[in-house]
Amino acid sequence: MEWSETGIILATRKHGETSLILEVMTRGRGRHLGLVRGGRSRKMQAALQPGNEASLVWRARIDDHLGMFAVEPLRLRAAELMASPTGVYGIQTVAALLHLLPERDPHPMLYDGLETILAHLGTPEIAGALMAHFELQVLAELGFGLDLSECAATGRRDDLIYVSPRSGRAVCREAGLPYAPRMLPLPAFLRRDVDDADHEHRASIDLEALREAFRLTGYFLHRHVHEPRQVPVSPARDGFIAALSRSVAGDNRETTSTEAGTST
C-alpha cells in the first residue's frame, strides 16, 4: 500500500529510541498517522514541527497498518508561529480540533480552512474570526452543524442576533427578545444575513464579538463532542482566546491613544 500527498504536520510523539509517530492533515486522506524512522534526529526535528507543510509518501504492507512516512519539507512555518502567542496557541488549538475527526476520513474544507488559519495566525484580528468559523466547520463536519440561515421561529433571514442553545438554530431579534437571557448571542461576523457589500450592515469584528463567537462555538463543542466523548477541551484554546484578547485590546488602546493625540 502506498500513496503520496502534501500534508500539514499537527503533532508528533516519541516511538522507541530514534523514531516518531507523525500526525498530519491531508486534503485527500484526512488526518493520518505514520511512523518516521529517525524522526528524532537533529536533522529531522526542524522539519517535523507542528504547522510545517511537507511532501509525504506513506507505505504499509496492508492498509490497516500504521505504516511509515517518508517526509520532504516544503514550507517551514513553525518559526513564524512561535513568534507570537496567537501562533503558538493557535496551531495547538486547531490540531486538537482536528484530532476529534476520525482517522483517514477526508475533510477537504477543513484542510483548506487549516491552510488559511496558518497563514493568518500572526494577525490576531483576522485569526480570531477564522478560528471561530473553523470551529463551526468542525461541528458541521462531525454532524452537529448550526443552522444560522434563518430564524427558527419566524423563518426570517434578517436581524438574526441569537442562537437557541437547545436547537442550535438562529433566532431573530423580534422572536428572541422575550427569551434573551437564555439565548446565545450571534455575533454579526458569523451571521449569514450580513451583506458584505452593504457598508451600513457590514460585520464588525471587535473583542466582544470574538468572545461571543467563542462562547457560542465552545458551548456546542462541549455539548455535542467533548462531553459525550469525555474528552477535555484543549487548554490551548483558552490560551489562544486569552492571547487574542490581549492583542486586540492592546490594538484598541493604541488606536484610542493615537486618535486622542491627533485631536489635540
**25-35 per-position pLDDT tens digit:** 999 999 999 99
Burial readout 11-29 (b: 16 or more C-beta within 10 A, e: otherwise): bbeebeeebbbbbbbbbeb
Chain CA centroid to CA 239, Å: 13
Q: What is the pLDDT of residue 255?
A: 47
Q: What is the pLDDT of residue 253?
A: 57
Which band of pLDDT confidence, cut at 50, 70 and 90, is reported for residue 175? very high
Which band of pLDDT confidence, cut at 50, 70 and 90, is reported for residue 201? very low
The per-residue DSSP string of 199-253 comes to GGG-----HHHHHHHHHHHHHHHIIIIIHHHT-PPPHHHHHHHHHHHHHHHHHHH
Which band of pLDDT confidence, cut at 50, 70 and 90, is reported for residue 205? confident
pLDDT at 262 over 70: no
Contact criterion met (CB below 8 Å) for 6 and 27? yes
Q: What is the pLDDT of residue 250?
A: 73
Which band of pLDDT confidence, cut at 50, 70 and 90, is reported for residue 193? low
The 10s digit of each residue's pLDDT in 93-135 is: 999 999 999 999 999 999 999 999 999 998 988 999 999 999 9
Please provide the average confidence, as pLDDT, over all residues in the chain. 90
Which band of pLDDT confidence, cut at 50, 70 and 90, is reported for residue 43? confident
Q: What is the dihedral of CA 242, 247, 251, 256, to 10 degrees?
A: 30
